[in-house]
Amino acid sequence: MTSIHDDLLPIAAMERAVDIVLSSPHPTSKVAAALFGRDQNGDDYIIARTNHWPEKIEKAFGTDARIADSSGTIHAETACIIAAPLTKDASICVTDPFCPNCAKNIVEAGIKAVYIDHKGFKKDFAARRGHDFENMSLKIVERAGIAIFEVIRKDKIIQPIQLPKSGYRPKSDNPPLINEIGLKTSTKIFKQEIEKAKKIYGEDEPFVVALSRDKHDHIFSISFSAHRSRGIRNEETPAPAAKLEDKYNYTIPPLNRLMMGAHKHGQCVSPDYVYLSHIPSARELINLMGEQDIYTLHLDKRKNETKYASPVALAQLQKAKLLKVKFI
Ligand SMILES: [Zn+2]
């Protein structure tokens, strides 16, 4: 089925992504994305980013060092989300088929449509990572009810690759807990919110609690536990190749949920008030380096770890003074 959209905005946004893709500092995989939507005031915005080394990482480690077992780069799609004012119901254009981790972040950010440049399917990256895209990324966005289109720029054609079934709406079984708490942040309130979250989620569950503010400077407590990407059932296991590499899974860990979820809800996290019950993964910490502020992570003093925890990445970033860590 081929259709020509009346709305050519996705084509214009794709042009923005294509315009900057060669400026990606990555020597071999150059990817760009452009995210467009409406901000808290109802004004249109468009944000374009390439995959890149966050400035903090590049200054402290250069581009060759690894952060634990991870590359220090942040992906273009995720970089767009964390630069955006409000991502709920936004759309994203990408130059290449996206990876399962970005797929989960796109879902968590509340994005409603993804557009992929048709030339992206012909590149080397697509050949190398095509399996993960077809078996995991597509499924993650499909289950979340997100539409995916292919864009053929020169003919101004936008054609669906995968559309949600009519009327399909996955249930949100584990939404964040967001409570307005007043006009001021304080350590006392932060600690009370941590205790409340421990009771709700259970002390052994991976979860995050943060204080955040909205556009009116009202303060909120915002908390997330780790969960399966929306619409993915508990018994589902990753596609065989992904499992073999143990590179991707269907769970979104709490710190990633916080970063994406805050942008979904137009909330700005206070960098001094973030608590994690478990040590985060290297990937989450690298994404956090894409944020402007230096964060203080309050961690449970029992130093709990999940399978994906990276105490090594935590120590590297702490030593480089790119984040502060307090065990409480
Ligand atoms: Zn990605």
Residue 205 Cα to ligand 1 midpoint, Å, equals 26
Closest by CA position to 255, among listed 323, 187, 180, 189: 323
Q: Looking at the predicted structure, is the pLDDT value of residue 39 above 90?
A: yes
Residue 129 Cα to ligand 1 midpoint, Å, equals 11
Identify the three-state secondary structure at position 295.
strand
Examine domains 9-162 and 177-229+253-327 and report if their fold is the same: yes
Q: Where are the domains of the chain?
A: 9-162, 177-229+253-327
User: What does the pLDDT look like over 171-192, one tens digit per residue?
Assistant: 877 889 999 999 999 999 999 9
Residue 31 Cα to ligand 1 midpoint, Å, equals 9
Exposure string for 290-317, b = 16+ CB within 10 A, e = fewer: bbeeebebbbbeeebebebbbeebbebb
Q: Looking at the predicted structure, is the pLDDT value of residue 123 above 90?
A: no
Residue 130 Cα to ligand 1 midpoint, Å, equals 13
Enter the tokens of residue 213.
């503010």
Residue 327 Cα to ligand 1 midpoint, Å, equals 31
Residue 156 Cα to ligand 1 midpoint, Å, equals 26
Report the residue count for the chain: 328
Return all residues near 221 (Cβ < 8 A) that are at least 6 apart: 177, 178, 179, 181, 189, 193, 196, 209, 210, 211, 212
Are 211 and 185 a contacting pair, CB within 8 Å?
yes
User: What does the pLDDT look like over 93-116, one tens digit per residue?
Assistant: 999 999 999 999 999 999 999 999
Residue 190 Cα to ligand 1 midpoint, Å, equals 32
Query: Residue 2 — pLDDT band, cuts 50, 70, 90?
Result: very low
Candidate from 68-82, 121-135, 183-197, 247-261 with smallest mean pLDDT: 121-135
Q: What is the mean pLDDT of residues 9-17?
A: 96
Q: What is the pLDDT of residue 248?
A: 87
Query: Residue 241 — pLDDT band, cuts 50, 70, 90?
Result: low
Q: Looking at the predicted structure, is the pLDDT value of residue 292 above 60?
A: yes
Q: What is the pLDDT of residue 58?
A: 97
Q: What is the mean pLDDT of residues 297-314?
A: 95
Query: Residue 3 — pLDDT band, cuts 50, 70, 90?
Result: very low
CATH of domain 177-229+253-327: 3.40.140
Q: What is the pLDDT of residue 187?
A: 95
Residue 4 Cα to ligand 1 midpoint, Å, equals 28
Q: What is the mean pLDDT of residues 52-56?
A: 97
Q: Is the pTM of this model over 0.85?
A: yes
Residue 83 Cα to ligand 1 midpoint, Å, equals 15
User: What does the pLDDT look like over 142-164, one tens digit per residue?
Assistant: 999 999 999 999 999 999 999 98
Residue 44 Cα to ligand 1 midpoint, Å, equals 25
Query: Residue 1 — pLDDT band, cuts 50, 70, 90?
Result: very low
Are 105 and 146 a contacting pair, CB within 8 Å?
no
Q: How many CB atoms lie within 10 A of CB 280?
A: 27
Overall CATH class of domain 9-162: alpha beta
